């Protein structure tokens, strides 16, 4: 049954979320016209719809008997590819002239998208594949003299309503390969990809080790050094987040890193504290050129109540460890805001990360002051291929909104944040229900009744919500729980006296 065009946004989002995003997708393989339906669905999933994927399918597949849909291997029913194309409002933009090139710590980067230091950038081949796919740079997996012994399993996830993982917990430490091997990978990466940015993430155990590591990676030709002051689950004491929580240690280890290099130094911060500005200022005083944030958040993702084993459990035991992925984005954005708006850190280059999956996520970090973006968990979930939609989506946004560079967007949302004291508390906006879009599920009623101000009437014979304006405080919980986008925000008016 065709879906009403009023629900295009909801239909596209739910259908794209249902797609399994297969490797070697059967739908694309089955297309006799050589189109890429899988690429189209992925572009919808990753919020990049200003392209001609949907338009091609809409225009040219009307009379096709849809071998793509027949070939779909979904365990339930096939993704409705042609219906999705019908719902796309593709305003195709010419992106040839749009550049994502950006200066970061004095270095020109082809685009702001880097792999962040982790398993996704832990050997030569992996990094080379990512750079060939279009990533602007890589931050190699943290290296050090310490070669840790890792646990199995080492990952766990939190999920909700069928979304495979919204948050991700890991127990991985620094690189498992030897220091010599890692230095060789880094050297070869810079030699083979001279135009890409190669960042070495380092972690020393003593002051001398920080200097030696900085010197070693400088000698082999990397572009930037990132100091890992932030891994929250190192098995040895006095490393990672233990350092990042102490401004004195951050400053001292940055100074010792500076002794071994002339390259830009980024200090990677831990979010496992209240005020990130304090260690960030200490790092700048110690000789850093910029800040990277955030590393993972100390977490426990869950406990199996039948054997009391936390996930992931290693012979029944686990340890508090780092949380990442979409769920941490709000926390990461808050820290970025705090860094970028602090008087003593104004103008300091920031590399932002934590839950970035789409170009929109990335643009929000940039709008709060980041000139560089790093990603791990989304790559673990979806692969290096997300770079296509990151690049195209960001280009389309810049072009459409008239920004002529990433720099112009950088920090432009900071002015929108004020102290809670300064917020307008004299006006409100009432919700407006679109009667044509409302399907009468009553979710707005339930939420308003049980968690709001009893401002919605829902009579059984009418099966539609009715606003009781005198009770409504304009909190907009109804708007947030409406599953079909039928409730919007009305005009701002003075609060009734
Ligand atoms: C499996 C895994 C391994 C990681 N290893 C490192 C590491 O070696 N060094 C480091 O600085 N950060 C490490 N991180 C943290 C990430 O670089 C990043 O700061 C964090 O995951 C937040 O970004 P994301 O939400 O895009 O994953 C790791 C993260 C994960 C999930």
Q: What is the pLDDT of residue 3?
A: 87
The alpha carbon of 119 and the centre of ligand 1 are apart by a number of angstroms equal to 8
pLDDT level of residue 234 (50, 70, 90 thresholds): confident
What whole-number distance in Å separates Cα of residue 146 and Cα of residue 438?
A: 60
Q: What is the pLDDT of residue 52?
A: 78
Which tokens in the block code for residue 306?
């039948």
Closest ligand 1 atom number to CA of residue 379? 26
Q: What is the pLDDT of residue 287?
A: 98
- The residue whose CA has the least distance to atom 28 of ligand 1 is 118
Backbone phi, psi, residue 278, to 5°:
-65, -55
Q: What is the pLDDT of residue 63?
A: 83
Give helix 329-340 / helix 277-285 axis angle, nearest 10°: 50
Percentage of the chain modeled with pLDDT above 70:
100
Q: pLDDT digit string (tens) for 441-452?
A: 999 999 999 999
The alpha carbon of 286 and the centre of ligand 1 are apart by a number of angstroms equal to 24
pLDDT level of residue 488 (50, 70, 90 thresholds): very high
- Mean pLDDT in residue range 238-267: 94
Q: Which residues are known to be catalytic?
A: 231
pLDDT level of residue 235 (50, 70, 90 thresholds): confident
pTM over 0.95: yes
| 206, 308, 310, 351, 434 from 365: Cα distances, Å | 33, 38, 32, 9, 33
Q: Do 438 and 407 meet the contact criterion of CB atoms below 8 Å apart?
A: no
Percentage of the chain modeled with pLDDT above 90:
88
Q: Is 458 helix (H, G, I), strand (E, B) or coil?
A: strand
Task: Give ligand 1 pocket residues (Cβ under 6 A).
Answer: 116-119, 141-142, 168, 170, 172, 174, 201, 228, 231, 268, 295-296, 324-325, 328, 353-356, 375-378
Q: pLDDT digit string (tens) for 35-91?
A: 999 999 999 999 998 877 778 888 888 788 999 999 999 999 999 999 999 998 877
User: Of 465, 379, 388, which is closest to residue 115 (Cα–Cα)?
Assistant: 379
Helix (H) or strand (E) holding 477: helix 477-481
The alpha carbon of 414 and the centre of ligand 1 are apart by a number of angstroms equal to 26
- The residue whose CA has the least distance to atom 10 of ligand 1 is 117
Choosing from 324, 330, 375, 390 the residue with most ligand 1 atoms within 8 A of its CB, the one to mutate for a pocket test is 324
Q: What is the pLDDT of residue 14?
A: 94
Buried b (16+ CB within 10 A) or exposed e, 112-140: bbbbbbbbbbbbbebbbebbeebbbbbbb
Q: pLDDT digit string (tens) for 275-310?
A: 999 999 999 999 999 999 999 999 999 999 999 999
- The residue whose CA has the least distance to atom 23 of ligand 1 is 354
238: left (phi over 0), alpha (psi -120 to 50) or beta: left
Q: What is the pLDDT of residue 233?
A: 85
């Amino acid at each position: 049954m065709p879906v009403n065009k009023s629900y295009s946004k909801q239909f596209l989002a739910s259908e794209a979320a249902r797609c399994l995003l297969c490797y070697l997708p059967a739908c694309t393989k089955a297309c006799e016209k050589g189109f890429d339906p899988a690429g189209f669905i992925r572009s919808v999933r990753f919020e990049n719809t200003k392209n001609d994927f949907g338009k091609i399918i809409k225009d040219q597949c009307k009379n096709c008997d849809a071998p793509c849909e027949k070939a779909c291997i979904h365990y339930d029913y096939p993704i409705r590819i042609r219906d999705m194309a019908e719902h796309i409002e593709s305003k195709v933009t010419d992106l040839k002239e749009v550049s994502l090139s950006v200066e970061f710590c004095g270095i020109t980067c082809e685009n702001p998208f880097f792999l962040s230091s982790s398993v996704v950038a832990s050997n030569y081949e992996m990094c080379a594949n990512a750079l060939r796919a279009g990533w602007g740079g890589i931050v190699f997996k943290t290296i050090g003299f310490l070669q840790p012994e890792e646990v199995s399993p080492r990952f766990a996830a939190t999920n909700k309503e069928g979304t495979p993982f919204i948050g991700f917990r890991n127990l991985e430490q620094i690189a498992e390969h030897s220091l010599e091997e890692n230095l060789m990978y880094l050297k070869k990466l810079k030699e083979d990809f001279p135009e890409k940015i190669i960042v070495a993430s380092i972690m020393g155990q003593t002051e001398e080790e920080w200097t030696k590591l900085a010197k070693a990676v400088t000698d082999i030709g990397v572009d930037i050094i990132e100091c890992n002051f932030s891994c929250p689950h190192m098995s040895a004491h006095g490393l990672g987040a233990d350092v990042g929580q102490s401004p004195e240690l951050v400053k001292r280890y940055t100074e010792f890193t500076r002794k071994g290099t002339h390259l830009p130094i980024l200090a990677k911060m831990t979010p496992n504290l209240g005020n990130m500005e304090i260690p960030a200022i200490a790092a700048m005083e110690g000789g850093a050129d910029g800040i990277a944030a955030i590393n993972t958040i100390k977490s426990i993702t869950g406990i199996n109540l039948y054997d009391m084993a936390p996930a992931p459990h290693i012979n029944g035991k686990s340890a508090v460890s780092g949380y990442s992925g979409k769920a941490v984005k709000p926390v990461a954005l808050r820290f970025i805001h705090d860094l970028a708006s602090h008087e003593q850190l104004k103008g300091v280059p920031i590399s932002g990360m934590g839950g970035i999956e789409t170009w929109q996520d990335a643009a929000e970090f940039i709008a709060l002051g980041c000139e560089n973006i790093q990603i791990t968990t989304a790559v673990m979930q979806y692969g290096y291929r997300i770079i296509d939609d990151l690049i195209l989506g960001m280009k389309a946004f810049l072009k459409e909104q008239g920004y002529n560079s990433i720099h112009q967007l950088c920090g432009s949302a900071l002015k929108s944040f004020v102290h809670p004291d300064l917020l307008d508390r004299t006006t409100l906006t009432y919700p407006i229900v679109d009667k044509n879009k409302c399907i009468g599920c009553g979710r707005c009623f339930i939420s308003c009744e049980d968690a709001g101000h009893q401002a919605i009437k829902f009579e059984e014979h009418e099966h539609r919500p009715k606003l009781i304006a005198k009770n409504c405080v304009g909190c907009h919980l109804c708007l947030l729980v409406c599953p079909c986008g039928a409730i919007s925000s009305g005009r701002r008016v003075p609060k009734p006296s």
